[in-house]
Every structure is written in C-alpha cells, then in structure tokens.
A = this chain, B = another copy of it.
Amino acid sequence: MTTTPEMLYLLSADPADFAQVVAGMQSADVAEALRELTPKAAARVIEALPFDLAVQVLDEPELEHRVPIIEAMEVKTAGPLIDGMSADQQADLFREFSDEERVRLLPALERKTQQALELLLRYPPETAGGIMTTEFLSVPSNATVEDTLQTIHRVGGAKETVYAIYVVDEKDKRLRHVVSLRELVMSDRNQRVTEIGTQRKVLSVTPYVDREEVARLISKYDLLAIPVVDREHRILGIVTVDDVIDALMAETTEDVQKFGGMEALDEPYMEITIPRMLRKRAGWLAALFIGEMLTATAMGYFEGEIAHAVVLALFVPLIISSGGNSGSQATSLIIRAMALREIRLRDWWRVAIRELPSGLALGAFLGLIGASRILLWQHLGWYNYGPHYALVAITVAIALLGVVTFGSLTGSMLPFVLRRLGFDPASASAPFVATLVDVTGLVIYFTVALLILRGTLL
C-alpha cells in the first residue's frame, strides 16, 4: 500500500471523505498515511473514523506523531480513545506527553487505565516492565478447560493476546502454570488447566530485565509472550512477540547508528529536523576530532624525521587506515557476539588469543602487499622512493604488521572495556576505534622507521 502525499492532501480537504477512504485499510497503513498530514488534520481524520479503527490506529507505533495529534483533540474525544488503547501503548504515549498534557488528560481516563499507567510508568522504557502490557488472560488454578474457554469467550476481546493463558494459584496468586490456546483447544474440556500443557517450569522475567534479553528469551524458546513477575512470583504483565519485534527493530537501529559514530537519532531519518540531527552527530564528531588531534601532536613530534625523509609521509594515510579497518572488523564482530550473548565479559582473554594471531596474519598479508607495491613501482619506474627504497619497503611492511595487529586487538578489546566501565559496548564505533588506532599507528610507524632507517634516511 503506497499513498502519495498529493493524493492525501487532496483527500484531507474533508476529513470525513478521507476517513471513508481509509476505513477499508489495515490500521498500520492508515497510521502510515496519516504521517503525511499535519497533527491537526490527522486529529480530524481520526475523529471521523469508526471508533474501533480509530483506537487501532492510535495503537500503532507507526503513527509517529501521535502526541501532537492527541494534543490537537478535545479531552472528551481523546479520553475514550486512550482508554481503548492497549496498556503498553498508553504507557508509551504518556512517557512522551508534556506535564501539562498529562494533567489535562489523566482525569478524563477510566480508573482502570489510570492504575495500569501508574504501574507501567514505574519502569524505564528499555526494560521488560517498560514494554509489557497489563492486559493478559489469567485463570485460577482450579479452573477446567471448559471454564477457561468460556473466560476467553467472555473477556478475550479486551486482551492483548489470548494465545497464552496464565494459571494463577487461587490462594497466593502466584504464577503456577501456563497453557496455550492450542493446548486448550486440543484437550478434553473436563480436564483441569493445571493438568494440560507441558509441565516444565514457567519461563518468566522480572520487570527490570533489559528488553534485548526479553527478545532473546522469546526468540530462543519460540514464545508468543513471556510473563513479567514480581519478587513473589505474581504476574504483573506480559511482553508479547510483536512488541519484542518492534523493540528488536528499534534496538538494531540504535546499534547501527551508534556503530556509525553518533548518538541514536530515535526518529526516522527523513522526519528528524536538521538541527536536531546535527546535535546528535556533532557531539561524537567533535569528540573524535579532539581525540584525533593527538595525531597532529604525534606527527609534530616526528616533524624532523618527516623533513629528512618526506617519503615517510607518503604512507601515513595507508598505514593508519589499515589499523582502523582491521579494528573496525574486530569491533563489529565482538559487539554483535556480545549482543547475542555468545561472548561474556569474562571471555575477553579467549577473544584476545583469537585476535592476536588473526591480527598478525592479516598484518603480514597487508605488509606483503604494501612492500610489493613499493618494490614494483620502483622497478617499473613509476615512482622513485630514493636509493633506500628497499629499506622503506621493509619499514612499511613491519609497520603494517604492527598496526594491523594492534588494530585487531584494540578493536576487539574496546567493547569489553566499555562494558566493564558500565557503557554500552555498541558505543565502540568504527570511527572511535579508528581514532584510537590512528595515534598509536603513527607512533608504531615512526618508531619502526627510526629503528630501520637510522643511519641511512634518518
């Protein structure tokens, strides 16, 4: 479904007409189409939609600017719409609202919604508690299959999912068992719910578990939902698989952007204003620039050597960039392996003993190419590296060996250091590693040059 902005502007002349056009569409598509309208126009369209579809559209995270859209509505319209939304989306909304907006809307909501919001807003948005919903289906442990099916029939419409039914102890309210709708439908109706389904321990998480860990568990055990429980093992809410996919997508976007060397935008690229995007980019860019200034200091330190042997300067970009590239490879491998829990903090030395020989091998390989290039150019007469060209070739080769090995080690160890210090290992971006490696790469290169060329070129 693609909607051209032109079509939309035309249609938006009359919200009722527009509402009629979109009424047959999927709610996610309506949400996407509404992105093209101003918040005010979108508010008018939503008000003109059938109530259920209006709620579904507001429930779509795809509706990027729903905060200003709701701000453009009157309280008596917005209240019931918000009451109809799922609890996790209500919480997302209230996290983004200004204080005035909260004060305006909160009294207009049902008591039930207010209570759910109070619970959900306690948790940070990147935790299980922050992405869970309170609309789960539970039955007491003395219920039968028939009782449970009737409960679903009665209240299922208001629940986020009816595919996982949580069986709660009738006395102490602890979560005792979980059955799937599939197991229910396939069982004898007179059986107790506690007797059907697999009898393994119920998988659950506590509210402060990171959303990435929740995603990993749901993915590993192929769940449709996972319960979030308190310390007494009473169920607070559930995280469903579709929320986890949204969380995974958002997490990936963040990681890719951080790895590119900036703060995560938290907004789509085409929608963020340029000044806001610049703020997200300028910080890291300036930090990296200031770090990279050390290269000018290092080069200044070797100014005398460069003046003596200008030929040395020619290979500076080649050598330091090779260190950065091998470091970038190593970093991307490690931060991904960490995200997938393939590697833990205590595995740092296992990584180091893999990266050391790898770096040496890759460095030797590049050194060989580099030296061959110098010798070839010299012999073909394409460039004259002076009488000591062979020594220059050896210097470049040994420097590459050292720089690439150092790059691989730095790139692989940086995520461990960041995690150990309590930072996100994904902040170990390619530019960050390159900057670290550039300064040291220069020192390695000129030190090798001093050792090999002293008495000849230097």
Residue A331 CB within 8 A of the other chain: yes
A311 and B303 alpha carbons, distance in the complex (Å): 8
Residue A119 CB within 8 A of the other chain: no
Q: Which residues of B contact A244 (CB under 8 A)?
A: 245
Cβ-defined partner of A303 (8 Å) among B156, B314, B336, B354? B314
Residue A333 CB within 8 A of the other chain: yes
One of A12-20, A122-130, A294-302 at the interface? A294-302
Cβ-defined partner of A328 (8 Å) among B337, B343, B431? B431
B270 and A343 contacting across the interface, CB-CB below 8 Å: yes
Residue A93 CB within 8 A of the other chain: no
CB distance from A405 to the nearest CB of B (A): 13
A26 and B222 alpha carbons, distance in the complex (Å): 11
Q: What 1/0 flags go to A215-228 for Cβ under 8 Å of B?
A: 10011111010000
Question: How many copies of this chain does one complex carry?
Answer: 2
Cβ-defined partner of A296 (8 Å) among B185, B314, B334? B314
Q: Which residues of B contact A50 (CB under 8 A)?
A: none
Residue A342 CB within 8 A of the other chain: yes
B431 and A325 contacting across the interface, CB-CB below 8 Å: yes
Q: Which residues of B contact A418 (CB under 8 A)?
A: none
A438 and B182 contacting across the interface, CB-CB below 8 Å: no
Q: Which residues of B contact A331 (CB under 8 A)?
A: 260
Residue A399 CB within 8 A of the other chain: no
A219 and B200 contacting across the interface, CB-CB below 8 Å: no
Residue A257 CB within 8 A of the other chain: yes
B219 and A242 contacting across the interface, CB-CB below 8 Å: yes
CB distance from A107 to the nearest CB of B (A): 31
Cβ-defined partner of A270 (8 Å) among B220, B224, B246, B342? B342
By DSSP majority rule, is chain A's interface helix, strand, loop, or mixed?
A: helix
Q: Which residues of B contact A429 (CB under 8 A)?
A: 328, 430
B383 and A300 contacting across the interface, CB-CB below 8 Å: yes
B163 and A182 contacting across the interface, CB-CB below 8 Å: yes
Q: Which residues of B contact A25 (CB under 8 A)?
A: 200
CB distance from A395 to the nearest CB of B (A): 13
B434 and A324 contacting across the interface, CB-CB below 8 Å: yes
One of A69-77, A168-176, A281-289, A449-457 at the interface? A281-289
- Of residues 245 to 291 in A, which have CB atoms within 8 Å of B's CB atoms? 245-246, 248-249, 252-253, 255-257, 259-262, 265, 268-270, 274, 277-278, 281-282, 284-286, 288-290
Q: Tell whether A321 pairs with B336 under 8 Å between CB atoms, given A182-B156, A262-B329, A285-B366.
A: no
A265 and B330 alpha carbons, distance in the complex (Å): 12
Report which A residues bind B (CB closer than 8 A).
24-26, 28, 62, 149, 152-153, 156-157, 162-163, 181-182, 185-186, 200, 203, 215, 218-222, 224, 241-242, 244-246, 248-249, 252-253, 255-257, 259-262, 265, 268-270, 274, 277-278, 281-282, 284-286, 288-290, 292-293, 295-296, 299-300, 303, 306-307, 310-311, 313-318, 320-322, 324-326, 328-337, 340, 342-343, 347, 350-351, 354, 357-358, 361-362, 365-366, 369-370, 373, 383, 429-431, 434-435, 438, 442
Q: List 29 A-B contacts (CB under 8 A).
A: A26-B200, A62-B220, A156-B186, A162-B185, A185-B185, A218-B245, A224-B241, A241-B245, A245-B248, A253-B336, A259-B332, A260-B328, A261-B325, A269-B336, A269-B337, A270-B342, A270-B347, A274-B357, A274-B361, A278-B362, A285-B326, A285-B329, A292-B317, A292-B321, A296-B318, A307-B310, A313-B313, A429-B430, A430-B434
Given A261-B325, A303-B310, list of 11 further CB < 8 A pairs? A152-B186, A241-B242, A245-B248, A248-B248, A261-B328, A261-B430, A269-B334, A290-B369, A303-B311, A306-B306, A307-B310
